[in-house]
Structure 1
């Protein structure tokens, strides 16, 4: 009987350690995620699985222009470490996480950039962006210029005519950029 108890304790310990390692890796290093919707067509497709590097979020370094990022769309609230834990796939599996708050988008503007939307194109600092990943012209235009504030980023989906992005939610703070597609 004592041998069975030792064996069970050994298994439980191994499972707890494996769960802890998976949690740490998923929160700080790399995490799988699923694309939900068509806002990144044709680059990424609905239900496609991708891996994101969490190192940019862990060490707070800025993404580059054109990077595909995963963002917390609740830009009007502060994020905490508890948010990072709750969004981990293992935790959200038990908790029933809300995938609708996490968007997959492309970085278009960085702090200090001035963006314009005219002639079916995006202009950054007066220059039209070359965006070969788009499959149709953007229907959105605006007479207003957007200046990206310090510590924030402007993100857009590749399917510009079917994307909820910074045009809707506003600029995204650096701490709301959860990772970069690998």
Structure 2
């Protein structure tokens, strides 16, 4: 094998290794792809939609109310997509089919169905924990459920920022 052939092979190996390293760093620290499974975020997100999730958003700041986030669900070992409703140290109450934060009614233009308690009792979100709900409150396993409850900050993977698919719905997510 000639010297130039060896140099060409080494060059290709370096290029491929660099590409894998960049892809690993991007997926680990910058963004990931999420797939919407189930009806819990309707009418905002629907089954089969593909989203880009920013992991950087929460490396530089905390989740905000109404952010759509991807959560690592340790119980079912899968990712969930939910909306942040209550922040740490806030009092969350559900009464008269509505959500109240620190005693004030939360105006939610993104939901079409009432919010039922589902055995949730008024509570204050602990430090570093968030209260999350699906937009389709009838079909959502969320913080009202004992199996999920308040979500620890470390289990929030990132913020859903862009819808890739379907193409006719591509764009930023609100």
Q: 2: distance between equivalents of 1:144 and 1:33? A: 31
1:84-117 deviation line (CA, Å, top 9, x unaligned) = xxxxxxxxxxxxxx9x521111000001111111
- The answer to whether residue 115 in structure 2 is matched with residue 114 in structure 1 is no
Unaligned runs of 5+ in 2: 162-174
- The answer to whether residue 149 in structure 2 is matched with residue 148 in structure 1 is no
Bigger mean CA deviation after superposition, 49-58 or 65-74: 49-58
Provide the aligned length of Structure 1 versus Structure 2. 158
Is the 8 Å Cα contact of residues 119 and 144 (structure 2) preserved in structure 1?
no
Partner of 1:105: 82
- The answer to whether residue 154 in structure 2 is matched with residue 179 in structure 1 is no
Partner of 1:130: 107
1:58-103 deviation line (CA, Å, top 9, x unaligned) = 34x211110111111228xxxxxxxxxxxxxxxxxxxxxx9x5211
Structure 1 residues 46 and 143, CA, compared in 2 at 3 Å: closer, same or farther? closer
Bigger mean CA deviation after superposition, 164-173 or 24-33: 24-33
Partner of 1:8: 9
- TM-score, length of structure 2 as denominator length: 0.82
1:129-148 deviation line (CA, Å, top 9, x unaligned) = 11111122224354721210
Q: 1: distance between equivalents of 2:104 and 2:47? A: 31
> Greater strand share, 1 or 2?
2
